Structure 1
Amino acid sequence: MAGFAVVSKDERNKYRLSVMCPVELSVSENLNFNSFKKHDTVLGGSCGGLLYFHGNYGHSFICNLKTNQMKVLTPPNFLPPPNDGIVTYSGLGYDAKSGDLKVIRRYVQHYIRKIDETDGGTGYHGCKSHTELYSSKDNEWKKIKHAVGCVAAGVGVSVEETGSCYWVVVVDPSEQKIKEYLERHSITDPWAPHVLSFDFATDSFELIPLPATTIRAYFLLCKVRGSIGALAYWKSCSSELCIKAFVLEGTSWGVLCDDIPPLADVERPLGLKDDRWLFVEAKASDSGQLMVYDLSQKESKKLNIYDYPGRMHGISYDAESTDPPLPCSTPISDYYLSKVRRSGKGKEKSMEGKVKKMSRGMKVLNI
């Protein structure tokens, strides 16, 4: 069944994971996101029926809500404490040839280095960064060569058919490799966004030009027909959101949908599912509200999911799939009950009740 996962905050300012299954805009399934982790946890990617999350450095896990299984990834040890940096981009993918489930992410750690304590301890800001790749077969992380001259942010879109993950990036035209890439594709605007792809079989990066538009637009990537799609969007003079959808066909971009009407009181797209369901962030007084637009029927409905403006993020995945396999996984309920048992028996009973309630069924909303 088609699924679209969204991380937002509820009315109590707590994180919530909502999974929409928009079959004729019928139901929305909700889980208490705080059951996973007390600290901020970010949706980092999807692949088949799997969702990947990461939070503080060293904490990340993959789960399959269909099978109630999760796998907590072993933390990397590339950087010394304090491990309080940020993940600038991430992605989950599957190498079908080797049967290896992999996670890729770019990690940046900021620090302040003192220069001379006798001078008052003045210092300067610096940062360390690297690209790291997790292998489920080896159950460990390794450093890999980073994408030269590319700055990406956000969740990668994995396409199982191509075995790759994709991000929208900004390039540094001063890098020699970037100069050669721009010349090769006859790109005259060095600051235009591009697509960065990562092949999970070869562990290699590649740059792809985005489709040309008559107006400077923002882009959001999505999975379309076993390939990568791109939503170009911009605000009209009347502040309506204009969207045009493309799909990568071989080495060139084709138009997927160019008759989407301008959307009023909508800030940005969040994703596209099954070439039909367009998820967007709509305005709702001082917050953002999730809205789904049916491209085939030209109808829209607002959902009862809110967050701070610009904070909501989501990704499509196969909500009913048990593929790819999640090796050495643990039942979600068992994992969190064991955490409570280790920390003290006093909380075990209340937590057990919460887990049972979560596993019995999810709250259903009529959209």
Structure 2
Amino acid sequence: MTRTVAPAPSGSLENWFRRLLLAYPGPYRRRHGGEILTTLMETTEPGRRRPSRADMTDLIVGGVRQRFRVSGRRPAVLLAAVLATVALGAFGAAAGSWWGERTFTALPSTAEMDRLADVIAGKPQGAPDKLPAGPVLSASTAEIVGGGTGLITTPGWTADQALARIAEQGWELRSHKAADAEELGCSGEFVATRADGLVLRGDECRTEDGLLVKTTVFARRSGAYLPLTVAGALAGALAGWLLTAGVSYRMRNLSSLRRATIGILAGAGLAGAALPVVAVCANTRRLLTNLDDSTAPVYVLHAPLKPLWYFSFGPSHMVMAAAVASLLCAFTAVALSRSGTVTAAEQTPLAG
């Protein structure tokens, strides 16, 4: 015969079990919580004020497993869970990358780049002809930040002299390959670093009129960048699966119209995420290619979401717009699933 469990004082065994049952999803607690609580109270020896370690472990592990379980195991729902995991994993990696980029060394201004170009060109000694440094894009819009010295035509200019001048400005030469004296084209290169984390990379190109030195300054990857990016990817992937599992449970008690609406919104969100996910994955490949080279430009994962031209088709804000539209569809679908009415048969004191 089933024994009726009387209300227990605060801190009692029953309240312990109720708190542990929070590990289970809300819909599952509303449907089975009362039965689980009664069984636990009946099978626990009298006089206990706290659950045993085994009971606590079973409830927590069972609750977590239930939260990851996709209701019904229908192929379409499982596919949606996998796609949502991939999409939000990519968005999470982009968010971690954005946070990680905030730890990079501050980039030089256009005026600072122009002064550096003067040092490389040798100005004011000899007053060489030099085009102004190219504008430096801000970190919010640039994938690789840099400016150029322009064409240097001063007779007698040498790269060795230029490298000596930048050394006086605190730059340490890492490598130098001189341009071919007999061949036209960009055959020379130098790389220098500064203690604050900036890298100066220059290409020496010989033309019929002299040397064209194109320079780029960018920040080295900080030690926090990769951990933050990986953490963001894991958090996003976890959220994608858990959100899909939670929606699948709640949809069982919704009307056909609401289920169809949620399905359409989820499909639209996953379709809209395709372009941003492909762009983030492409930059992931570029990042991994130069992972061991601290003097190579850092192709941050979230660069495609910046308001710049990225693909050879569509407007510059296309990837960002697709990502925002995708997330709006996803959040609307989740909100619609949570606003459903719980049936009277499922309403128990454990609802929450």
User: TM-score when scaled to structure 2?
Assistant: 0.19
Which structure would you say has the larger RCO, counting Cα contacts within 8 Å and 6 or more residues apart? 2
Computing the radius of gyration from Cα coordinates, the structure with the larger value is 2
Q: Which protein is richer in helix relative to its size? A: 2
